[in-house]
């Protein structure tokens, strides 16, 4: 496997930017038919999977994955509050 070397910090930042750009979706919203943003657990799991592909060890990845999950929970909460 010949992947470009990417640090966990770079990958973490890429994931946040991509999520904000709407690139991490799963399913469809029932009420409007739009793509649904990925839930925090799925988002963190996707990060773990991607980081492993780059050769990072699970022990190194976990802290970043937890941070992404927490960030995603806050981000989605902020989005929800805008529509109330």
Report how many domains make up the chain. Answer: 1
> Crossing angle of helices 40-53/8-20, nearest 10°?
140
Residue 21 domain flag: yes
Angle in degrees, CA 40, 10, 43, rounded to 5: 15
Residue 2 domain flag: no
Q: What is the pLDDT of residues 12-21, one digit of tens each?
A: 999 999 999 9
pLDDT for the residue numbered 28: 60
Range(s) of the domain holding residue 64: 8-82
pLDDT for the residue numbered 2: 44
Q: What is the pLDDT of residues 31-62, one digit of tens each?
A: 555 567 899 999 999 999 999 999 999 999 99
């Amino acid at each position: 496997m010949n992947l470009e070397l990417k640090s966990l910090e770079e990958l973490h930042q890429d994931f946040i930017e991509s999520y904000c750009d709407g690139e991490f979706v799963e399913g469809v919203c029932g009420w409007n038919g739009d793509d649904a943003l990925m839930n925090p657990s799925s988002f963190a799991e996707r990060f773990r999977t991607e980081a492993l592909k780059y050769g990072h060890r699970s022990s190194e990845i976990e802290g970043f994955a937890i941070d992404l999950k927490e960030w995603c929970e806050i981000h989605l909460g902020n989005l929800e509050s805008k529509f109330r």
